Amino acid sequence: MNEPVDYLLQGARVIDGTGGPSRQVDVTVTAGRITAVSSGQNEPSPGRTIDLSGLVLAPGFIDIHTHSDYLQLVEPRSLSKLLDGVTMEISGNCGFSAFPLTEAARNREAAHWAAAGVTVDWTDFAGYRKRQEDFGTGINRAFFVGHGFLRGFVVGHDDRRASADEMNRMRAVLEREMDAGAIGLSTGLIYPPGCFGDRKEIAELCKIVADLGGLYASHIRGEGATLLDAIEEAIWICRESGARTQISHLKASRPENWHKLDRAFEMIESARAEGLPVLSDRYPYDATSTGLDQLLPEWAYDGGIEAQLARLRNPETVLRIKGEMAKKYDADYYSRVLIASASGHPELDGRRLHEVARERGVDPASAAIDVLLATGGSCESVFFVLSDENMHRVLTHDYVMVASDADARAISGPASSGKPHPRAYGTFSKALGRLSRELGLFSLEEAVRKMTSLPASQLKFNDRGLIAPGMAADLVAFDPLEVIDRATYLDPHRYSSGFRHIMVNGRFVVQHGEITDDLPGRILTLD
């Protein structure tokens, strides 16, 4: 007797994730798995056959670079990502993760997230994973250990080298977290306290990652003036440690550095030709997004956030800080800075920094410092320092994955605050609609590969990212003529259009364009 069929998906143009040409075939889903991809001669089953005529059926998109570590405990469906075709998020990037936490860090995070209803009752990945699994999730998830939090847990926030004993402790904690299911290590080498670790420290930790089959993802040590040195460091760490390496959101920041991408491509391609497992990811936008405190010199971070704020209250230290900012940023630069989310001051959201300065009758550097003090250092901003042409060039390389570099949001509720970068809503639909369909930068099949099998192979998730028998049934059906992003910088809380059906682990989370509120997602770990 034949195995019962859960769903028969008929009539779609199937793009299987390999990058090969699409086919008109039927896909059978049984017990959460794809059990057949056939020529389309199947008899319909009442109530279980889904007509996908006129649609593309693809593997669910894997957002390999996200920051949903806490917001997914506010909005488990991850609607901004889900309605952009994402069925898996990888969080804990750029050195930031929800673990390991010292007791002081746990208390700080608990106080910050209490208003959103998040109970921070964990200190390690095992505890965080249990909280996540108890809460439920609409999409699949996996997590890096953030080097910044690992270093903060063991070394603290001081600008110094780790001692031999501290290195041993960091190795032990990293191994513990990966044994509990974390998939590797991420670094944010422009952010404190991760920026205080040198390349030898990172390489030693990445040897643990390599031994355990994990992935190293790096927000490298500079994406502007020091871009090429930072790429050299990432490649050196890959060679020294043997860890699979991902250069996060590959870009050249600020116009005077845009030309450096040619050399960056050469360096990465030379490393790959050498056999080094180096890939990259990129979001399809012309602006970055990070904390406003990135305007400050690195030494101002020494000692942690309270020490940083104390320096901003000290007139003599502020003169030194502003002097260094003046050397790095001209007056025009501040017109490129958009305040996205100013904690406790929503009236600043969506305002350009130079406008705030003009209204207050101060210079832009002083305005930035005032905002940081008013928000306790918690102010996310958007920086218009990238080139659309360069973004197109980056994304056409076959080793570059599409990724959002954003947390999952929603158009209402606690996840709808501020004016986040539109990449939180529109990354994948923009790649499909504007870049593939309208500009022809790459075929639809290649766009899908960059979102599915390429990240799945980088993660070593061998049952995801393809439409083939035996694969997990994470599937997305969209209208190739209508799929488009709708979020903008000033009106970001807008879901993408064109997605009709989305399936996670064989269960519909979107059906006929309607959200089902099912939570079939899982925490995925290394095989």
Domain ranges of the chain: 61-289+385-462, 294-383
Burial of 304 (0-12, 13-18, 19+ CB in 10 A): middle
What does each of the 527 residues of the chain score in pLDDT, given as a tens digit?
345 569 999 999 999 999 999 999 999 999 999 999 998 666 666 569 999 999 999 999 999 999 999 999 999 999 999 999 999 999 999 999 999 999 999 999 999 899 888 999 999 999 999 999 999 999 999 999 999 999 999 999 999 999 999 999 999 999 999 999 999 999 999 999 999 999 999 999 999 999 999 999 999 999 999 999 999 999 999 999 999 999 999 999 999 999 999 999 999 999 999 999 999 999 999 999 999 999 999 999 999 999 999 999 999 999 999 999 999 999 899 999 999 999 999 999 999 999 999 999 999 999 999 999 999 999 999 999 999 999 999 999 999 999 999 999 999 998 999 999 999 999 999 999 999 999 999 999 999 999 999 999 999 999 999 999 999 999 999 999 999 999 999 999 999 999 999 999 999 999 999 999 899 999 999 97
Q: 3-state DSSP call for residue 124?
A: coil
Q: Which residues of 214-239 are buried (b: 16+ CB within 10 A; e: fewer)?
A: bbbbbbbbbbbebbbebbbbbbbbbb
In degrees, rounded to 5, the angle at the alpha carbon of residue 231 between the alpha carbons of residues 229 and 234 is 115
CA 53/CA 60 separation, integer angstroms: 18
Phi, psi angles (nearest 5°) of residue 329:
-125, 130
Four-point Cα dihedral 94, 100, 102, 104, nearest 10: 50
Q: Judge if the upstream peptide bond of residue 255 is cis by omega within 30 degrees of 0.
A: no
Architecture of the domain made up of 61-289+385-462:
Alpha-Beta Barrel (3.20)
Q: Is the peptide bond before 100 cis (omega within 30 degrees of 0)?
A: yes
Query: Tokens at residue 234, please?
Result: 């990432």
Chain centroid to CA 132: 18
What strands, in cross-sheet order, belong to the sheet with 288-291?
288-291, 379-383, 337-342
Nearest to 295 by CA among 355, 354, 252, 347: 354
- pTM of the predicted model as reported, rounded to 2 decimal places: 0.96
- Vertex 201: Cα angle to 200 and 206 (nearest 5): 95
Quote the CA–CA distance of 309 and 175 in Å, as a whole number: 34
Residue 13 tokens read as 């143009």
Inter-residue contact 279 to 398 (CB < 8 Å): no
How big, in percent rounded to 5, are the helix, strand and coil portions of the chain?
A: 40, 20, 40
Do residues 268 and 247 lie in contact, with contact meaning Cβ atoms separated by under 8 Å? yes
